[in-house]
Amino acid sequence: MKSEWGEGTVVTHGNYYRAKVRYRGPNGEHLLYEKQAKTKKAANMLRKEFIAKLDPVTRQILPEMSVYFNDFSNRWLTLSSTALKETTAKYYKSLTKKANSIWGDQLIKDITPSDIQEGLNAMKGSARTRNAVRAMLLQIFESAVANHIISSNPVRATKAAHGAPNEKVALSVAELERLLTVAQSGSYSNAATNNIGAEFNRHMLAASVTLAAMTGMRRGEVYGLMDEDLELDGQAPIIRVRHNLLPNGHISSTKTIAGTRIVGVTRKTAECLNQWIAYRDAYAYNIGDKYARESNLVFTGIWGKHVSYSNLMRRSWKALCRASGVPKEFTFHGLRHTHITHLLAAGVDVKTVAARVGHTNPGYLLRTYAHTLDEQQKKLLNILEHIYN
């Protein structure tokens, strides 16, 4: 199959691999770039390096010393997006837009460390956002170095922003019990009791909130769960976490490799899920063909489609939090923080907690939940003093 203009391909040539890219010359004539390498990986690298030198519209080679930041950053984003998850690519696109608004009309070769530092310092947003832009700039300018547009990466001479991290709100055991009790009662909703759609949503939220609180699963993992992922009827009920529901309704793999995991659940949690499934199936039977369950999802909206995050937050979650009297800053993701905090406070080791909640690096938990771990150390010292006094 013939490759598209400027897309390129890698073909086998004897014991070698050959990178090929069709492009246009200065006068629009059709030309072919060919270069040989010993491995397919090396040939692909040659292909990508050459593509980075092409104008995305004309498919002509750009004068290397006259490359503007916005042209190069947009080409870099296009190439990088093929290897990124949809949500990550979308996030990078928003960061690239911020960067282009500051340095877009400057030639890459003219951008200095001072220019970058001043732009980052003046950028609106949190320290986390500015550091995310800086991390992306590191990659963009590193690519410019690899393509011989500049000789060194100016971002390396800049400093990361410092700011107070967002406080993670976790509920106490009593607060969590109150939240779950209100969720299961449905008393937070003002909808009429004979409104079967509203009743369905109340049952759905109660079961999904209970699952999130009892497992530490991410929101996308909870609402991306499918019937075949559940094994609830044995002596040791488990859930296989394999999917992630994105905000746009698409189903993807889990956020990280460690996110794909098996999570044990208590019998009470298993019972809650079984009750929800029985209710959902009875509801579907009564609704008939109007209820068309999407992708075999465990949790759905009233017509069987995926759960809408925006509707869930606006119509149900905030009302549930108000009625439960929990801090107004508490989010659905806070259920995950609460679960982790309770496990660490109970003395469960960091590695086990990280594996349960799908964290790639247990060191993240050590840094993020240092206060909880410090409290555990104090309890340990008190126990030692009691034992050996």
Q: What is the DSSP letter of 28?
A: S
Hey, what are 333's tokens?
């993701």
Query: DSSP characters for 47-111?
Result: HHHHHTTB-TTT-BBPPGGG-BHHHHHHHHHHHHHTTS-HHHHHHHHHHHHHHHHHHTTSBGGG-
Spatial separation of the C-alpha atoms in residues 74 and 96, rounded to whole Å = 8
* Unique residue bearing structure tokens 């492009």: 23
- Are the C-beta atoms of residues 355 and 261 closer than 8 Å to each other? yes
pTM, two decimals, is: 0.64
| Beta-ladder partners of 37 | 17
Task: Please give the pLDDT value at position 63.
Answer: 59
Backbone φ and ψ of 77, nearest 5°? -65, -40
CA 325 to chain centre: 29
Q: Which amino acid is at 318?
A: K
List the Cα angle 22/28/33 in 5-degree steps.
Answer: 25
- Are the C-beta atoms of residues 372 and 345 closer than 8 Å to each other? yes
From first to last of the 389 residues of the chain, give the pLDDT tens digit: 455 555 788 998 888 899 888 888 767 778 888 888 889 988 888 888 888 777 777 777 765 556 889 989 988 888 887 777 777 888 899 999 999 999 998 989 899 999 999 999 998 888 888 999 999 999 999 988 887 788 889 999 999 888 655 667 889 999 999 999 999 999 998 876 678 999 999 999 999 999 999 999 999 999 999 999 999 998 899 999 999 998 888 898 887 788 899 999 999 999 999 999 999 999 999 999 999 998 899 999 999 999 998 888 888 999 999 999 999 889 999 999 999 989 988 888 889 999 999 987 787 787 778 777 677 677 767 766 777 76
Q: In the chain, which residue ranges form alpha helices assigned H by DSSP?
A: 40-51, 69-81, 86-103, 113-122, 127-146, 173-185, 196-215, 219-223, 267-287, 309-311, 318-324, 334-345, 350-357, 362-368, 370-388
Tens of pLDDT, residues 346-357: 888 889 999 999
Hey, what are 209's tokens?
């909130």
| Beta-ladder partners of 251 | 245
- Are the C-beta atoms of residues 173 and 235 closer than 8 Å to each other? no
- Are the C-beta atoms of residues 42 and 36 closer than 8 Å to each other? no
Tens of pLDDT, residues 239-294: 999 999 988 888 988 877 888 999 999 999 999 999 999 999 999 999 999 999 98
76: Cβ contacts below 8 Å, ≥ 6 apart: 52, 139, 140, 143
Hey, what are 91's tokens?
């996030």
Q: Give the other-Cβ count within 10 Å of 49's Cβ.
A: 16
Tens of pLDDT, residues 249-260: 889 888 778 889
* Unique residue bearing structure tokens 């003002």: 190
Q: Give the other-Cβ count within 10 Å of 110's Cβ.
A: 12
Spatial separation of the C-alpha atoms in residues 326 and 377, rounded to whole Å = 28
Q: How many Cα neighbours within 13 Å face the side chain of 368? A: 20
Nearest to 99 by CA among 127, 66, 133, 53: 133
Backbone φ and ψ of 245, nearest 5°? -85, 120
Walk me through the domains of the chain, giving residue ranges and CATH numbers.
Answer: 1-61 (no CATH), 173-377 (1.10.443.10)
Backbone φ and ψ of 12, nearest 5°? -80, 135
